[in-house]
Every structure is written in C-alpha cells, then in structure tokens.
Amino acid sequence: MSSYFTDLAQQYIDGEWRPGTGSWDIIDFNPYDGEKLASITIATVDEVDQAYQAAARAQKEWAATNAYARRGVFEKALRIIEDREPEITEAIIAELGGTHLKAGFELHLAKEFLRESIHLSLRAEGRIIPSPVDGKENRVYRVPVGVVGVISPFNFPFLLSLKSVAPALALGNGVVLKPHQNTPIVGGSLVAKIFEDAGLPGGLLNVVITDIAEIGDAFLEHPIPKVISFTGSDKVGRHVATVCASQFKRAILELGGNSALVVLEDADIDYAVDAAVFSRYVHQGQVCMAANRVLVDRSIEAEFTEKFVAKVKTLKAGDPRDPGTVIGPVINSSQADALSSTVEQAIAEGATALVRGATTDNLVEPTVLTGLPADSDILRQEIFGPVALLVPFDGEEEAVRIVNDSPYGLSGAVHTADVERGVSFAKQIDAGMFHVNDGTVHDEPPVAFGGEKASGIGRLNGDAVVDAFTTQKWISVQHGRSFFPF
C-alpha cells in the first residue's frame, strides 16, 4: 500500500504538515474491500481561516514573481508526477476504486493540464485600447484575483483538483483546496505534496480536509477568496452559487450532467456501440459527462441493442487491482444503494432490464434498461453509476427534442455517416459541449469546458481559465492636459 496514506494524512497549511484540531476524524476507506487507508483529524473553522490568511500573505510576492520563474514550478511538478506514476496509480486504485484503465486515463489528463499550466504563466496578457480623448492611453491589465478556493469531487479527484489549482497558481493566485471527504489524499494532500516538492513557496497552496458538519459555509463565506471553483452535484452547486452571489464572489461551477449519445440511422453501428459502452461505463459511470441515455433511431434499434448488450456483458466487474477489471466499485454504500433504488424504480415504471447487474457491497455490475415511459423522471436525472438507458426515436427532430428534455446541458455525442449532418444536429442541442462521431467523455486543456442549464456556470481550460482566475484592471494615462468643464 502506498505510503501516501500514512505520510499525507494531515492538513497542509502555511507550508506545514500538521494534524487538524477538530474533535473527530475523517476515515478514508478503500471502497472495494473496506480497508481503512487513513484517519485524518478534521480542520476547524479556525484552520480554514489560517489557510486563507496564509494564501493571501504568500500571494502578493508570488504575483510579483517573474512569470518565467513561476513557470519552472509547473515544469518540475510535471516531472514529479511522471516519476511517481506507479505510486499515484496505486493510490487512485485504492482510494477511488478506480481501475488501472481509469488511473491511466486520469494521470494522462493530469499531465496534459500541467503542461498547459506551464504556458498559462505567460498568458495573462494586457491590452492597449484606443480612446476618444486626445492624448489618452487606455491600458487594460490582466491581474490575479488574489486567492481562489477550490472544492474538488471524488470521481476524478487528482485531475479535477489540479485542473483548478494549477492554472490558478500559474496565473499568480494563492489557493486553498478542500478535497472531497472520500478522496482526501488523492484529491488533496497528494496535490500539495507534489507542489511542495516542486518548489512552490510555502503558504501559496493550502489543503484543508474537513466536512461541512464542522465548518458549515465558512470555506465559502470567508472574505479572502474572490473566486470559488466548485466541481460536484447541481444540488450543492446551487447552494455554492447562492452563497457566492451574496458575498459578491465569482463562482465557477462544474456540475452534473445527463448526457445523451445519439445514433442516427446512417451511423457505423459497431463503432457507435464501442463509443456508447465506453461513454456510459468508464469509471463505473461516475463521470459527469457519461452517457446516461443512449438514443437510437428505431430503424436500427434491434441491431444496435443486440450488439450493445453483448458488449456490456463482456465487461469484467471486480477487484480494481486486477488489470483486466473494467468495472470497479462505486465510491460508497450510499451511492450503491441509490443506484439499486433507481433500477428498481425504473422496472416498477415498466422498464425492461436487458442486463441486470448484481450489487455486492459497493460493487455494482452493469445494468441496461429499455422501455422507460417518456415521462419517467429517471430519464431526466443524473445516474452516477453503471446503468444505461436505451431510448428509441423516430427521426432527427424527435431525437433533438428528447436530448434537450433534461434540466442538464453538459456534454453529448451524435453518430452519423455525414459529418456536417452531425454538426447541424449538435448545434440544436442545449449543451456546452457536443461531439460528432465520438464518445461523450472528453476534456482537452486548450478548449473551454463547461455546461449550460443545471450543468454549471462558467468555463475552465484555455482562454476561459484566464477569465476565471484573473480580473481586468483599467489604468489610463493622460498625455498632456485634460479639459475639465468647471
């Protein structure tokens, strides 16, 4: 077992590793076998304050540091991840129940985002804007917001912590990170350790491992952070947005999804099956972009369904440490119970289970459902697990209507032999991201990532992340004398 779970089971505040001073511990369990990985005494409201104060103190000097010097920290962090990949892989498998495939996918993306952050240090460019006033020069500077609070989820904790932490730091900010209680090491203290070893000045990045039962809204309401970057459920996201709005903070919200993968009648069926199975079952379906719904033109429904079901039945569920395992455990028993209830509700509503996977502790085997009534709530909610809903449609117009009949608008995909037909289809979907002849699960560092409707507010990645973690400052210079009317 990785030493991370003994060495890093602490808070990281103002450049120091120390235990929390709360009255109880967060117990970190392996979701597959229930092994206790770590016990971490939680951070209190006072320690959240200490973390934000430390970030604010360190940030001023960091922002004034030459951008090329800042860049070196991220270059070293990337090398550290590359050198420690076997240990990080082991930690992802143990703490998340992620398979070898999932760990490799997460680490690949994490390294790509770090490579992008190396360049982000140089991306906060200013502008000179013409003035209607003679002799006036308008300068618009891009400056760091100051301190960013980051709340990361349990499904891709290493990647999704880095995805906000690294660019926020690269652009000159200080950061306080609160990882999910189920993934405090991979999503929190491991990130801090990598940056500490990469030479990041103490105090700039702080990690508080805690729970709202202890701190309430203190992480959100603290006066120091100007931006809160939250990734998680839309229910919690609504609360984060409300608190941030009342405090005049900027909220970047990457929330849930109910993505659809659409197979038109002219699609390559075998290829569409591969894309759909991956899009639904990657990391046990615990992905915000996962294809909850697989929509198939009725003219090819029988062939597609037969091939889809056959492929799903080949997915090996079990111990994520086994390299052959495709479906590992979901994160905890609450999630496993919720998935069982969802399947039972769907069947009670009239759905047919073409594949009905068993649930053993946190291991939920794949399920495929069809025949859900059009008004079923299940078709409009996020199912965070290995349950696929097959939905037939008659023609493109009906497919567009069904896809958009959702409170979410994150990702999606369409399969067709005609690329421009696919692009035309994608333009009609109320989603932040849509893919033609591919899966629904994509994230690329240069491309704006985010959703519409209940899937969030704001964007990350590329130019969008510069907008997220900097602000604009107008400084005008009057050459010569200005005229004042009195």
Q: What is the pLDDT of residues 213-224, one digit of tens each?
A: 999 999 999 999
244 is catalytic: no
Report the chain's C-alpha Rg in angstroms: 24
Long-range residue pairs from 367-375, CB within 8 A, at least 24 positions apart, any chain: 367/343, 368/308, 368/309, 368/312, 369/343, 370/305, 372/346, 373/349
Q: Give the pLDDT score at 251.
A: 98
**Measuring CA to CA, how many Å separate 54 from each of 146, 202, 451, 469?**
12, 9, 33, 18
> Has 288 been annotated as catalytic?
yes
pTM above 0.85, yes or no: yes
For residue 473, give the amino acid letter: K
Query: Which residue carries 């959100």 as its tokens?
Result: 220
The active-site residue, picked from 254, 301, 365, 396, is: 254
CA angle 460, 465, 466 (to 5 degrees): 165
Q: pLDDT digit of tens for each residue in the chain (486 aa)?
A: 579 999 999 999 999 999 999 999 999 999 999 999 999 999 999 999 999 999 999 999 999 999 999 999 999 999 999 999 999 999 999 999 999 999 999 999 999 999 999 999 888 889 999 999 999 999 999 999 999 999 999 999 999 999 999 999 999 999 999 999 999 999 999 999 999 999 999 999 999 999 999 999 999 999 999 999 999 999 999 999 999 999 999 999 999 999 999 999 999 999 999 999 999 999 999 999 999 999 999 999 999 999 999 999 999 999 999 999 999 999 999 999 999 999 999 999 999 999 999 999 999 999 999 999 999 999 999 999 999 999 999 999 999 999 999 999 999 999 999 999 999 999 999 999 999 999 999 999 999 999 999 999 999 999 999 999 999 999 999 999 998 999
Do 114 and 77 form a contact (C-beta atoms < 8 A)?
yes
In whole angstroms, give the CA distance from residue 299 to residue 294.
15
Show the tokens assigned to 288.
Answer: 């915000």
Q: Which of 47, 196, 214, 288 is the catalytic position?
A: 288
Residue whose pair of structure tokens reads 């197979």 in the numeric block = 263
How far apart, in whole angstroms, are the C-alpha atoms of residue 342 and residue 273? Answer: 24
Residue 463 is encoded by which pair of tokens?
């130019």
Domains of the chain, CATH where assigned: 4-255+455-474 (3.40.605.10), 259-436 (3.40.309.10)
SS (H, E, C) the chain: CCCHHHHCCCEEECCEEECCCCCCEEEEECCCCCCEEEEEECCCHHHHHHHHHHHHHHHHHHHHCCHHHHHHHHHHHHHHHHHCHHHHHHHHHHHHCCCHHHHHHHHHHHHHHHHHHHHHCCCCCCEEECCCCCCEEEEEEEEECCEEEEECCCCCHHHHHHHHHHHHHHCCCEEEEECCCCCCHHHHHHHHHHHHHCCCCCCCEEECCCCHHHHCCHHHHCCCCCEEEEECCHHHHHHHHHHHHHCCCEEEEECCCCEEEEECCCCCHHHHHHHHHHHHHHHHHCCCCCEEEEEEEHHHHHHHHHHHHHHHCCCCECCCCCCCCCECCCCCHHHHHHHHHHHHHHHHCCCEEEECCCEECCEECCEEEECCCCCCHHHHCCCCCCEEEEEEECCHHHHHHHHHCCCEECCEEEECCCHHHHHHHHHCCCCCCCEECCCCCCCCCCCCECCEECCEECCECHHHHHHHHEEEEEEEEECCCCCCCC
Handedness of CA 344, 346, 350, 354 (dihedral sign): negative
Tokens of 293: 């719904």
